[in-house]
Chains A and B, each alone.
Chain A
Amino acid sequence: MAETKYTEEHEWIRVEGDVGTIGITQYAQEQLGDVVFVDVPAAGRKVAKGEACAVVESVKAASDIYAPVGGEVVESNAALADTPGDVNAEPTGKGWFFKLKLSDKGELDGLMDEAAYEAFVKSLG
């Protein structure tokens, strides 16, 4: 049973077993505007919770993507190299960034569930 958690930096992580798939939220892609390039981490890279490990470039600016939890990158979304617009079209589907083998599932407890994230976005006005 997959569960999805959210960060205050507008990343989502969908966890199945001990692997989490990471991307950015609908709110984040709307704020960024048209995505033209995504720099994803290579498989095998170890990242700590909160570490900047991917970059998403819109026409206007580059934004860091932070690891919601720590772990080892097991796969990145190679298709984004040719179709970065997937991040805008399907931010929680085809527009995923990378997959992490979690080092400590306990780190998920500090993240928001969907209801808490929705309330958080509302509070941003």
Chain B
Amino acid sequence: MTEAPAGPLKRTPLYDLHRELGARLVPFAGYEMPVQYPTGILVEHAHTRTACGLFDVSHMGQVRLTAKPGQNAAKAMETLVPGDIAGLQPGQQRYTQFTNDAGGILDDLMVTSTGDHLLVVVNAACKDADLAHMQKHLSATCEVEPMFSRGLLALQGPQASAVLSRLVPQVATMKFMTGAYVVIDGARCYVTRSGYTGGDGYEISTPADQTDAIARKLLGHPEVKPIGLGARDSLRLEAGLCLYGHDIDTTTTPVEAVLLWSVGKERRVQGGFPGAAVVQKQIAEGSTRKRVGLLPEGKAIAREGAEIVIDGKTVGTVTSGGFSPTLGRAIAMGYVERSQSANGTRVDLMVRGKPVPAEIVPMPFVKHTYYRG
């Protein structure tokens, strides 16, 4: 799902700003995106953990679902995802997945209820397929409106609340995984207190033509620096969060990926989503494999694709691995056979043909600091 589609690369509303800021632009999910700015990934990562980082995530897909007369958009959405969407109060947000008939994950997504409609944010590489999927299955009950030209800014870090509340005072008291329509500089935006770093922060959906002005306004605050996709990846890995197409895909179920917390309690019993029978069986009997955290000894970095070995026998594969700037050491996650998945289990990660000793550990690697009020 991550290979670049044919044709010219698309640009977000912040393309000119990225160029001005000296970003290194790379192809990502069909877009020309900043992987880093001149300060580099380590500085950007540390800045997001200690102050405030601004990320352009406008390449992600935003879709609005509005129920047709006499219909219920949340109930309709529940036919495609295992999350408890019908139970969302107005202004509440939830993480869930589109599943296939085998319980595999087609994409992971955020769903927010505004009371009047649902706002959905999906991964850039999957957004055309996701839109087609929703149009096919939900058009009878919902207006399915792609808002792919809108901007999406992530403002993340311990200073994010102080910065954004200077412009919009009400965001200071918003809790993690809630959202609200707000006005920033005359532009109507939708803000959620969420993100992909494991820390406090917001995502701000902006009108396309006002995205640049809002980004520049945020960057005008002394705490805020622009952050590229490189640090976005190292931040989410420290937080133990899955990257679609790597840690989760059509061959992994929410149970195997240890995302059962995101499957509604009633929905585990009642089903009604694609692959429910598979997921329910795995809940009852356990899956054969499981996503785990891995802490390699020493300095070598085990990256995606490295085999996980116990006593010479391959028991799994690393799906994400890299350097944790916060911990100053290598970290990884991957799948292992469930019988070998206990915390503290000693494994070897095969890096360039050599075994690197590692231990299975709980995630996150860096404690979450979400704002829960």
Contacts and interface: CB of A to CB of B under 8 A. Distances in A.
B301 A60 contact: no
Given A36-B301, A55-B352, A60 B42 contact: no
A60 B234 CA distance: 9
A81 B41 contact: no
A81 B300 CA distance: 10
B303 A59 contact: no
B230 interface: yes
B322 to A, nearest CB: 7
Given A55-B352, A60-B41, A62-B301, A33 B323 contact: no
A39 interface: yes
Contact of B42 (A34, A57, A61, A62): A34
Given A33-B36, A34-B41, A34-B42, A59 B300 contact: no
A37 B40 contact: no
Contact of B230 (A37, A59, A62, A88): A59
Given A33-B40, A59-B323, A39 B300 contact: yes
B257 to A, nearest CB: 24
Interface string B284-319: 000000000000000111010000000000000000
Interface residues of A, number: 14
B325 interface: yes
A61 B234 CA distance: 12
B35 interface: yes
Contacts of A60: 35, 41, 230, 233, 322
Interface string B315-331: 00000001101000010
Nearest to A81: B299
B234 A59 contact: yes
Contacts of B41: 33-34, 58-60
Interface string A19-52: 0000000000000011011010000000000000
A39 B230 CA distance: 22
22 contacts: A33-B36, A33-B40, A33-B230, A34-B41, A34-B42, A36-B42, A36-B323, A37-B300, A37-B301, A37-B323, A55-B352, A58-B41, A59-B42, A59-B231, A59-B234, A59-B322, A60-B41, A60-B233, A60-B322, A62-B301, A62-B303, A88-B40
Interface of A: 33-34, 36-37, 39, 55, 57-62, 81, 88
